Structure 1
């Protein structure tokens, strides 16, 4: 069987390649590349999409490969909504706003409900049955290859409309859902974390990344931190109104305090701990850009996101034998089962665990 080099789509950041099992030497050369990554679900390798990397791949593959086009799933059709359908979206917006759903959830549900209503433009929404909904979902899976995440979000948007706006009984929502894939979160090693948070030369940027990791914060929680939320004497950070409208305390690392004090003396934030150049909260997009630059500059896992810092905080805390209940509280999880996923991401090697064979 020949290797396959997949032609990247316009603006694609990575080049994917399939390497047959018997091409061991080629696979080892790809593994040695700085930006290489193994996609275990797709059984593909990928590297950053640059002309140099493309030429290198073609040179090591030689006559053993063929080029195939990368195809994208067909987009879900959506046309202009009627006045009545827009009124239904406004009703959903009003109801979810009164229930204090987050702005991002409201936007997502309105967009997905618009897709759903568009598909049933020929039918009154109050007449749509569970069978109609399941048939529509089956159509999207078969013809558009929608992800399980998209499917679940669409079902949630439909449920929100029928339950909260139309006041239907919950028994109406007995809709078949996909089996949830058990995926482990990406984790950065301690060395990668150290390199990433030290990479920015800008003091504010370094303080932002260090604060996120050291306290296990979400990116939205970081931008909403106030100066008053840093309790240096008591040794905790107060996180107000986080996901699920919950307040919580998380750890204020001893090593973070000197950095925050130096940052405060230089920037003098007035209300928000991290302010933009013109005042107000620091932007989420700017933090993501800071993180991507640090990842690229340190040759760390290219698939890591800002949220990977939170995952890594949880995993490293468990590796440090922090009580699981404490980790749950610091992360703000309702259920311990959510926190327990990190027990599956801890590093397993012969330096930390001994095999029964070693006791023979």
Structure 2
């Protein structure tokens, strides 16, 4: 079987892409590799950029850098510190991987020698040179600041570490007509119910997949979201139409542990599979926009605002800590803008 491998960047992370003619045996072998992922955009399987994977797939053109022995020990210590404070699994992974990248860059220096100038040099020589995003840089800043706050003797002045200038991007929003097309695209009841529940309640993907049957309060028409982002519980109203859909779904699929389970009973539905469900819906209805599951959440908030719902209630429903986060939807709501008459009409 002929194959080629090369280094690629995905989400600010170095990965090893494996190119080969479609072969189920090879696909099964790739799937068994730890950290393997499928890129729908690139149409390729890719693996973590590790020494073992470089050797396995014969990538030797550039030597791989690893953290120093001290760096590895500090990363593990930082991970234990995060665990003891009950940070979420996703946050722990994000912060430790970000710190690993930073300490790898300075694997020739002791942690005590790293100073604020080194942070600036890392930003310029690694992040900017590799065209990595401002959001990725912000993750690095979060991890570095938190890490050095746990160390007593250091040259780092935490309060002087600057963040990248925030990009003023607007959330992507679909029209109600587009949402209706997407939600009605699937005849599969499970797929249709998952997408409909995300939009109708403004859920994050992880929040949907963490739902259990007991979190649906059919008596009060509420959905209870347990330990959502920021380890906060919150409730959101449940549409009577969605409740009927959920009842039909429950009769057919009879979930046990999670409301939406994967192929293995008792295990949650896979987030990547849910993204694929959405992509299939877009293809069926001919929508060319690069829609993600989060677009449905943005659309939920914007449509509520346009229908006259108070911004404070939308903030509660979305689980935002700050009203400033929710206020961004005022910039994409078209209700007031459409009432403005263009001077062109008077020419």
TM-score range for the pair, normalised by the shorter chain length:
0.7 to 0.9
Of the three residues 292, 303, 313, the one matched with 1:316 is: 303
Does residue 167 of structure 2 align to residue 181 of structure 1? Answer: yes
- Residues 172-204 of structure 1 deviation map (CA, whole Å, 9 limit, x = unaligned): 341122211110011111111101111111111
Q: Check the 8 A contact 1:227/1:273 in 2, yes or no.
A: yes
Q: What is the CA-CA distance between 1:246 and the residue it aligns to? A: 0.3
Q: What is the CA-CA distance between 1:143 and the residue it aligns to? A: 2.6
Q: Check the 8 A contact 1:163/1:170 in 2, yes or no.
A: no
Does residue 91 of structure 2 align to residue 90 of structure 1? Answer: no
Q: What is the CA-CA distance between 1:166 and the residue it aligns to? A: 4.7
- Residues 224-246 of structure 1 deviation map (CA, whole Å, 9 limit, x = unaligned): 11111111221211111000000
Q: What is the CA-CA distance between 1:113 and the residue it aligns to? A: 1.3
Q: Note closer, same or farther for the CA distance 1:169–1:195 as it changes in structure 2 (3 Å cut).
A: farther
Does residue 174 of structure 2 align to residue 212 of structure 1? Answer: no
Bigger CA drift: 168-177 or 112-121?
A: 168-177
The match for 2:325 is 338
Does residue 89 of structure 2 align to residue 103 of structure 1? Answer: yes
Q: What is the CA-CA distance between 1:302 and the residue it aligns to? A: 2.8
Is the partner of 1:248 in helix, strand or coil?
Answer: strand
Equivalent residues in 2 for 1:104-119, closer than 5 Å: 104-119=90-105
Give the TM-score normalised by the residue count of structure 1: 0.74
Higher relative contact order (CA 8 A, sep 6+): 1
Does residue 251 of structure 2 align to residue 265 of structure 1? Answer: yes
Q: Check the 8 A contact 1:110/1:157 in 2, yes or no.
A: yes
Give the TM-score normalised by the residue count of structure 2: 0.76
Q: Check the 8 A contact 2:70/2:110 in 1, yes or no.
A: no
Does residue 249 of structure 2 align to residue 295 of structure 1? Answer: no
Q: Check the 8 A contact 2:148/2:154 in 1, yes or no.
A: yes
Distance 1:323 1:97 in 2: 38
Gaps of 5+ in 1: 1-8, 12-47, 51-75
Q: Check the 8 A contact 1:95/1:165 in 2, yes or no.
A: no
Q: Check the 8 A contact 2:134/2:166 in 1, yes or no.
A: yes
Does residue 225 of structure 2 align to residue 239 of structure 1? Answer: yes
Is the partner of 1:104 in helix, strand or coil?
Answer: helix
Q: Note closer, same or farther for the CA distance 1:141–1:287 as it changes in structure 2 (3 Å cut).
A: closer
Of the three residues 244, 254, 270, the one matched with 1:283 is: 270
Distance 2:135 2:182 in 1: 30
Distance 2:190 2:309 in 1: 29
- Residues 262-281 of structure 1 deviation map (CA, whole Å, 9 limit, x = unaligned): 11111111232112222121
Q: Check the 8 A contact 1:163/1:169 in 2, yes or no.
A: no
Moved runs in structure 1, 4+ residues, more than 4 A? 165-171, 356-359
Bigger CA drift: 107-116 or 217-226?
A: 107-116
Q: Check the 8 A contact 2:112/2:154 in 1, yes or no.
A: no
Is the partner of 1:164 in helix, strand or coil?
Answer: coil
Q: CA RMSD in A?
A: 2.9
Of the three residues 188, 199, 210, the one matched with 1:202 is: 188
Q: Which structure is larger by alpha-carbon Rg, 1 or 2?
A: 1
Distance 2:42 2:101 in 1: 33
